[in-house]
Amino acid sequence: MGEHGGRLITATFGDPKTFNYILAEESSSMDVLGPIYEGLTTKDGVTQETVGALAESWEVSSDQKSVVFHLRRGVCWNDGHPFTADDVLFTYNDLIYNEAIPNRYLLTLSVDGKPFRVTKVDDHTVRFDLPDIFAPFLEFAGMVILPKHKLEASVKDGSFSKMLGIDTPPDQVVGTGPFRLRTYQPGQRTVFERNPYYWKLSPDGKRLPYLDHYIAEIVRDQNALFIHFISGKSDVLEGIRPEDVYLAKKLAPAQRYRVVERGPASSTSFLWFNMNPGTDPQTGKPLVAPAKLRWFRETRFRQAVSYALDRQGIIDSVFMGMAQPLWTCESPTNIRWYNPAVRQYPRDIARARDLLQQAGFRWDAEGNLQDSEGVPVSFEIVTNQGNDTRANIATIIKDNLKELGMQVRIQFLDFNNLVARIGENYQYEACILGLSGGADDPTSAMSVLLSSGRMHQWYPNQKSPATPWEARIDELMNAQVKTLDYAARKRAYDEVQIIMAEQQPYIYLVTPVVHTGLKERWQNVRPPASSGSSMLWNVEEVWSQ
């Protein structure tokens, strides 16, 4: 049985960009919003089963195309306003399915581009009618619900996309989750306080959460994150860098924390090239210089780059051997969906040079690579500053590609500026970044894998597929979601992974082993089955001795 009181301190890397959940696409924002909002369902981190959250029960029709949710009674928003079916309808019909509000959920929560029909039965009952079978529907019903009474006016007057910026007063950020925002100080910390209206009770009838406060300190680089934890300034460090694991374990007894090894990361890391053929609306100039766009859109160029990368060197020098090569869009930790039988790219400079020659590239007398028109191959890779791991990977990649005669520059940007470059103005040539592990189901990657997706980063928001292989991925991803036959879904997603590995729109790098540090005094922490879930996935139940 737990006791109320106390505060838990964690540390995060970078400031949030927005408090608007519908528009948030980067982990720095999502991490802040997680304790504030809830969906109709959630996932038990240990069992991985879908369980009720704002909905306490549901019935699925025999044809699997209709679901009726029974909402919990007595639930309130953190400002005391009652939660009802109207909030569910507002979130789906007025926000997610509103074409005037671009968001990544529109593709995920639809079938063949057709939205779900969401209707109100009564104040505590909602019906979803699907255009076809949507295999992961119950899991995806975990999409958070937003408050109609706070946001409806902004939708009607067209100002919703400007709502809930980081300068929003904390009492205007309204959710039903276990915590509510108390203060946000840019560059310093985000402080959450317990939501006094939270619906969930402990087994002995105490209102959760136990904690009075949950604090996320903002730390600018990974060295500081580690020092922050081992010096006792924070209670948890979700990801201990491989080079810090030995010291972390050595200091653990004296500092009274434990180090938990959690297996391969569910996130993916990769290099990609900007293949967007568009123009800058301000200047009319191409987003990517025509010669460079030709290189980047050439499959053999991308394959050659992949063969040139020394992934084992990255594993040995950056991750201290605690990682493995990554070849496709799914992490090996997701055993249910991972396809190991895809094309691999062990380091092979001779093979890389052969592919470049096949594509018309040549070398000058000094060994510098040129294309068929004599243009030297030179480009800039952007990535986020303050991340030493990514900086070290970028340096190795630069050196690897120099062996092919490519001239590579690395530019480090603050995270929010980087997000704007790759997701808004597209003013970049190549990027090293990653995607955090979302839901285990492949449908969670719709916005990334579909050619029309906002997160289809090498060329987002396509009106129609730019290539036959992107069209095939669209076909496969749209087909797998419309059957409950796991074997059929697995075949489709296996082929998607094969195509991604063959075409290399993302040149995947490595998958590290995840280690998490946690102070011993915290009770009721239940390590999740997936390394993609936070160690504090059940933070509302965590308490301190």
Residue pair 112/132 in contact by the 8 Å Cβ criterion: yes
- CA atoms of 271 and 464, how far apart (whole Å): 24
Closest CA to 18 of 238, 224, 194, 168: 168
Helices (H), 338-485: 349-358, 388-402, 415-420, 446-449, 468-480
Residue pair 471/463 in contact by the 8 Å Cβ criterion: no
Q: What band does 438 get if pLDDT is binned at 50, 70 and 90? A: low
Beta pairing class for 543-544 and 117-122: unpaired
- CA atoms of 77 and 90, how far apart (whole Å): 15
Q: What band does 112 get if pLDDT is binned at 50, 70 and 90? A: confident
Question: Which pLDDT score, from 0 to 100, does residue 532 have?
Answer: 78
Question: Which pLDDT score, from 0 to 100, does residue 437 have?
Answer: 61
| Bridge partners of residue 120, in order along the sequence | 126
Residue pair 542/211 in contact by the 8 Å Cβ criterion: yes
By three-state DSSP, how is residue 239 classified?
Answer: coil
pLDDT of residue 212 exceeding 80, the answer is yes
69-97 pLDDT per residue, tens: 999 999 999 999 999 999 999 999 999 99
Q: Which domains does the chain carry?
A: 268-512 (3.10.105.10)
* Beta strand extents in 315-461 (DSSP E only): 323-325, 362-363, 369-370, 378-384, 407-413, 430-435
- CA atoms of 307 and 195, how far apart (whole Å): 52
- CA atoms of 294 and 289, how far apart (whole Å): 9
Strongest mean pLDDT among 165-179, 414-428, 429-443: 165-179
Question: Which pLDDT score, from 0 to 100, does residue 439 have?
Answer: 66
Question: Which pLDDT score, from 0 to 100, does residue 25 have?
Answer: 78
Which pTM does this prediction carry?
0.79
Percent of the chain with pLDDT strictly greater than 70? 99
Give the distance, in angstroms, between the CA of residue 48 and the centroid of all CA atoms in the same chain.
18
Rounded to the nearest 10 degrees, the angle between the axes of helix 222-230 and helix 388-402 is: 150
3-49 pLDDT per residue, tens: 999 999 999 878 899 999 999 877 888 888 999 999 999 999 899 89
Provide mean pLDDT across the span 121-142: 95
**In one letter, which amino acid is 78?**
N
Question: Which pLDDT score, from 0 to 100, does residue 31 have?
Answer: 86
Provide mean pLDDT across the span 279-294: 95
Question: Which pLDDT score, from 0 to 100, does residue 173 have?
Answer: 97
